[in-house]
Structure 1
Amino acid sequence: MKKRVLVTGASKGIGRAIALAAAENGFDLAIHYNKDIKGAEETAALAAELGASSSILGFDISDRDKCEKILTEDMDKLGTYYGVVCNAGVSSDNAFPSITSEDWDYVVHTNLDGFYNVLHPLVMPMVRAKKGGRIITLSSVSGIIGNRGQVNYSASKAGIIGATKALAVELGKRKITVNCIAPGVIESDMTKDIPWDHISSSVPLRRMGKPEEVGSLAAFLLSDGASYISRQVISVNGGMI
């Protein structure tokens, strides 16, 4: 039986690229989406062309009860995940004085609480399986150095880094590695309106990254070749930092 990997936010962009890279490397998938079921189905179809079978799971990662219910049901039906990639996240950018309490809660509850909501139901089944495992979280350059207009987003992504490092310490003796990928400016709906002048002045490679470049790193971290890499933050940023 092939090992399974859950990828949250896999209906498009970086999440889809990670899911397809995992499929190409021999994993079956659990493909998560929040609202874009069509995108999730497209990801599953592309993964099938690579030989991977997929379950498709729809829920809001900020909804703790729904996360536990749907993830537990999927594991009961198809087995414990070997790998988990916590990719799903949101942003709501504004200068700090203009960030409303709703904007703050939306971003922090989704991005940071989502770490707990997704991983908490999964960690003990992975431990009990006694087969090791891989956990990958997605932070951001913004979570490392901060970014203008993203105090809420930067806070949530910095929190993910801290949580990832702590969880890596706890799970190391179980042969479960826990690492964080911190993308820079990657081609996506979120970055399509960034002016070229900003990219050329802040990114030494003078271009946006491609989702597939994040996917290839995630695939490596999921592989046996990365079995001695844990508690690390690896930034895919074209030399920004």
Structure 2
Amino acid sequence: MKVSKYVKFLAPMFFCALIQAQTLFTTDFTGTNYDMPTDWNVVSGVVGDSGTNGFYYYNDALRFNGSGNGLALYTGSFDNGYANDGTLDDFTIVSNFFKSNSGTTGIVGRSDVTGENFYTFRINNTTSFELYCFDQSATTYATKIGSANIETPSAYVYPQVWTLVATFEGTTISADLIDNDGLIVASIEVEDSTFSSGYVGVRGQVTSYWDDFTVTAVPEPSTYALLFGLIGLGYVFVRRR
């Protein structure tokens, strides 16, 4: 077998291994109705049950039922050698969600363990996509640092399942909002250095549901270098054929 054939055989395996190694945590929130998912810590609101509003499993989703501010953080372990101790800095969250038409529902990134200081991407009512920074040390606790109108003829309609993809990379904080047809209907990208690391979670002010919640690490520069090195090696052998 020629060396070029080895490269063609091994390069896809290396690439798949690199992508797979970035997955830190994933859940589809499958559990017994009215139980609370393991390793999720409710820092605002309460753990609910069949007779009490709050957070709990419901029909294979995480549900926040009621009104007011509900915030739950994932404080369990991460895979692939990453520590979930508030030091996670560069990462991407992908989560499906649906909600009642009014109020806000979203995800949280770079939160402190108390859930008092954090970033949150959220859909507000049916036509607004927003990024807020909650900072107790600031003059104004909640500051909107990014927003976009939802560009779709129907806006959000309950109970459509939409997807939020948010990336925290250095001072760059960005997200895409994807509707039930798979179309990107709103995007936000800002530069902000208020928080550099923290926990991930979910936040709602109205009845909200989250499903298929995944956290992946943004690749380190060395990972990109290895990937590009493999591509370059393949190119060299192709040129020599």
Tell me if TM exceeds 0.5. Answer: no
Compare the two structures and name the one with the higher helix fraction. Answer: 1
State the TM-score, normalized to the length of structure 2: 0.29
Larger CA Rg, structure 1 vs 2: 2
Compare the two structures and name the one with the higher strand fraction. Answer: 2
